[in-house]
Amino acid sequence: MPVLRPPLPREFYLRPARVVARDLLGCRLISTVGDALTAGRIVETEAYLGPDDAASHAAIRPIAARALFYGEGGHAYVFRIYGLHHCLNAITGRAGRPGCVLIRALEPIRGLPVMARRRGLRAESVALCNGPGKLAEALGITLRQNGADLTRGSLVIAPRDGSRDFAVGVGTRVGITRAVEQPLRFWIRGSRYVSRA
């Protein structure tokens, strides 16, 4: 099964966030949290940079995120937002080079019934994973996954199946109040699973 291919290597993440964000499109996020296999194709990401990026948690949440942001890439950074939702990021860059990529939307490919149960929706619903809080809930991701190694373990990212046969859209990031104008959001053009058209 394609899901069993080896995860992306550490080196994949040891590059600037905006490069990793674009390259993650089409890759597969695989979760075995809670003994259930759920997986999806990444169709939307956003890059967050270091302290110079006013929207990045490296700048506005230095205490909570510093150790992870300044650590080595390839680890998960999970935070809770608005007291009730979780967002999943992949830390990028070498140690001392802060940056991360927010995974904003997935196209569900495995474990749809489990996702549907967790989300309280039908398995055919397009809304299973089409938002950062939604995909975290569908894959069972909580603060327990904060700091997890994305190259091994219960939460990994595997390469895309073939070549990049899709067009990449580039635009401004969603939902933030600072550094709004930066073109750091990437998505697969034409996918019906992106969080916003």
Partner DNA sequence: TAGCTGATTGACT
Partner DNA sequence: GTCAATCAGCTAA
In whole angstroms, give the CA distance from residue 100 to residue 89.
Answer: 6
Query: Both tokens of residue 66?
Result: 């510093």
Minimum CB distance to DNA, residue 169 (Å): 17
Closer residue to DNA (CB): 38 or 89: 89
Closer residue to DNA (CB): 27 or 136: 136
In whole angstroms, give the CA distance from residue 102 to residue 118.
Answer: 21
Closer residue to DNA (CB): 26 or 133: 133
- Summarize as ranges the residues that interact with DNA (CB under 7 A): 46, 48, 55-57, 60-65, 77, 79-85, 87, 89, 100, 102, 119, 127, 131-134, 173-178, 195
In whole angstroms, give the CA distance from residue 89 to residue 2.
Answer: 23
Q: Are 3 and 158 in contact (CB under 8 A)?
A: yes
Minimum CB distance to DNA, residue 167 (Å): 23
Minimum CB distance to DNA, residue 147 (Å): 13
In whole angstroms, give the CA distance from residue 161 to residue 183.
Answer: 27
Minimum CB distance to DNA, residue 127 (Å): 6
